[in-house]
Structure 1
């Protein structure tokens, strides 16, 4: 990664800095505590004190990305998409799929080279309409402002052969290709941010009726919940085995399913990403790193109808992940799990805010602040997770560390070395509570709570060894032991920025 260095970029840095300044006022003492790592806590499985290793997160030296210097192909928009729709002919056969894919393929790189395929406006035309695309090695799909890349509403465009029918509720999943598949290293999906704050956009149109029907992608998700079955909806972006992938200054809105899934790869940076999908849209996770190493998610705004972030360690471990200076609206929180069988470790979450309602004022159906979730079905070791300077408001469950997220057996979830240093929760909803639930007496949660100020201290707790310092939350329950610890830092002073206008 390289720092921006041109004079023309200075106003952009100033605009981003303005948002950063509104986020959280962290004390020097808290910053020192995070950097120094001198926090004593009670080990859950012994009677002696120990000093946990604080998480350091991403092992890379990550700075703000920049768009590629070389543009390999430039494509001009030919649509206006009034009301985010085109005419029947265009909706029946997305006109831009082939030309965008041909440009991407023509620009494929070998080695570590990187170039851009740039989508630009042409007069009053600022829209592209496409079916599924694949971004190959060394190519960045670069979307100029105010251009929008719209996903096709024709379910058949996404169909995977011999799989359940895309655009239906079925007994199995896997019927749909993603809107954008990322294949190969050194790739990206990036936008150009204008002086007025607008930036390139991808719109999955999850709220609009599918071609030839009266049913939306989100309707299918609701039907699957109410009537059983599994919705077959496309993810917006899926990157698998794609090292060094970047999302930068890009708006991702109205995804039919997950917005971003990053799987089994090393080196992922999401910076200046703005995800905006209503809290009522089911299964629309924001960003999900799975089997991922060296990840930074920074300076981003995430609003969706499921987990804001869900770090998973199912078939492969996830480790060295930083989530910083980002803001979450109407989501199910900043999550780890529920798949942790292969392990999750060295996760640093710092300087973030979580608001339980979305930008439209709609409350999340499962509003959580910080959450680690797993179970005997898909559990494994979660260790060395550090949360600092977190501000939470209007949620139902500020803190959740739950090894019984689902019923079943076969594997054992263990949460150890979990440190929360500096969290404030305000305006919690009626009936709000916290959960600290270890697996059993032989596998208690190892948790440290320092500088914790919650406006709801109701907690369901079992099987945990908890170190406490300056914490309003003092859990008790079966198999719960607590001890006083010595640590530095303060409770953060909080402000909650509004979701930016897109």
Structure 2
């Protein structure tokens, strides 16, 4: 047995601890499929021109508990600010397009739509700020027009972001939806597509439900994360499809506060960078349940990423019933996300449970910082192709009775023949 890898002999005791952690790691609310609002305060059809003023006025005048209802075709709008208790309801035949006009989003610095020494120069398209209740419903679409040419420019939001990557500096482009210091926000059925930047970014949110939504952004659109719960708690993402150009979901916890009690259940991830935790973890992440997830062709699968410049404690994270197909790096639990990072914010990952996790080949990486800061991981019925490779360093590893494959020194395992059959099943 390697001095960097201990397979604890008290197998059943630690397996029981893993099951206990799984029972606790989730959204504490009782979450059911959302029902549509009771009433409609305004029923709008497109005007054929910029509808920002009409939409914002309807939202402001709408009483809590009611919805602004969009139907009849294509709406064009600049930034909108939601009101507590008010729902934006977009019917199946309606699409709300975001204007590709940097001046409409500019925060006053004149940098929106430009590369600058810092980012955050643009307002989001739709913002929920200090609101309670309400959300976005319907079978319609919100289109951020990330690939459309910006007004007064020869490039799109996405082209600007890619140019910033090659030339240096920060792209200033708008997020599609920002939820900030809000409570009990609900998204149901809606399709978000072509976001210029993050699709849904959350900061200090208490209670959010995303049920049956679709996020669809090209795989080469830079920094277009799907849903990012940051400093948030009691969040459920379920029955949803997410395809994007960066992390499909990324749970973050920087200096703004911890993220905890999050359920990610019965979802499908197409292209993207996978199911991520990090890299900002200084306030800690805990009580996370990822169950019934299919990942098709993502660059990464299950990923916890940080380093000593932004690390923190990640604990009680359970992954169950996970199917990965064509995933380049199926497992990456890495405390050296930036190998050149400096600092004393040590990343510590413990009580990480993987159960019924299946995939093909690729790198299976679990790397603790050092022998004083090892990862605590339990694997049970974790099966990959024989060509998959384990890269394990500074890990306290426990295996459940169903074992793992391919074999790992010091751990029990069983042949992988059952894995492909089980992973052929879609958990979505």
**Of 47, 50, 58, the match for 1:103:** 58
Q: 1:108–1:136: 8 Å Cα contact kept in structure 2?
A: no
TM-superposed CA distance for 1:108, in Å, is 4.8
The CA distance in 1 between the partners of 2:106 and 2:236, in whole Å, is 32
The CA distance in 2 between the partners of 1:45 and 1:241, in whole Å, is 43
Residue 209 in 1 paired to residue 149 in 2? yes
The CA distance in 2 between the partners of 1:399 and 1:77, in whole Å, is 47
Aligned length, in residue pairs: 405
Structure-to-structure mapping, 1:4-403, within 5 angstroms: 50=14, 51-52=17-18, 53-55=20-22, 56-79=25-48, 90=49, 95-109=50-64, 114-121=65-72, 126-162=73-109, 165-183=111-129, 184-191=131-138, 199-314=139-254, 315-356=256-297, 367-403=299-335
Q: 1:44–1:445: 8 Å Cα contact kept in structure 2?
A: no
- Of the structure 1 ranges 245-254 and 207-216, higher mean CA displacement relative to structure 2 is found in 207-216
Residue 465 in 1 paired to residue 396 in 2? yes
TM-superposed CA distance for 1:213, in Å, is 1.6
TM-superposed CA distance for 1:484, in Å, is 5.3
Q: 1:44–1:444: 8 Å Cα contact kept in structure 2?
A: no
TM-superposed CA distance for 1:494, in Å, is 2.7
TM-superposed CA distance for 1:47, in Å, is 8.0
The CA distance in 1 between the partners of 2:219 and 2:232, in whole Å, is 26
**Using a 3 Å threshold, how does the CA distance of structure 1 residues 233 and 475 change in structure 2: closer, same or farther?**
farther
The CA distance in 1 between the partners of 2:53 and 2:263, in whole Å, is 37
**Of 367, 371, 375, the match for 1:437:** 367
Secondary structure of 2:232's counterpart equals strand
Q: 1:44–1:446: 8 Å Cα contact kept in structure 2?
A: no
Residue 411 in 1 paired to residue 350 in 2? no
Q: Deviations over 1:429-449 (max 9, x none)?
A: xxx312111011111000011
The CA distance in 1 between the partners of 2:245 and 2:206, in whole Å, is 27
The CA distance in 2 between the partners of 1:494 and 1:483, in whole Å, is 22
Q: 1:353–1:496: 8 Å Cα contact kept in structure 2?
A: no
Q: 1:467–1:484: 8 Å Cα contact kept in structure 2?
A: no
The CA distance in 2 between the partners of 1:160 and 1:202, in whole Å, is 22
Query: 5+ residue gaps in structure 2?
Result: none
The CA distance in 1 between the partners of 2:75 and 2:354, in whole Å, is 45
Q: Deviations over 1:271-313 (max 9, x none)?
A: 1110011111110000000111111100000000000000111
Give the structure-1-normalised TM-score: 0.77
TM-superposed CA distance for 1:72, in Å, is 1.3
TM-superposed CA distance for 1:44, in Å, is 7.2
Query: 5+ residue gaps in structure 1?
Result: 1-42, 80-89, 192-198, 357-363, 477-481
The CA distance in 1 between the partners of 2:145 and 2:188, in whole Å, is 21
Q: 2:292–2:427: 8 Å Cα contact kept in structure 1?
A: no
TM-superposed CA distance for 1:474, in Å, is 4.3
The CA distance in 2 between the partners of 1:384 and 1:453, in whole Å, is 21
**Of 383, 386, 391, the match for 1:453:** 383
The match for 1:26 is none
TM-superposed CA distance for 1:46, in Å, is 8.5
**Using a 3 Å threshold, how does the CA distance of structure 1 residues 180 and 277 change in structure 2: closer, same or farther?**
same
Q: Stretches of 4+ moved more than 3 A in 1?
A: 43-50, 473-476, 482-485, 495-499
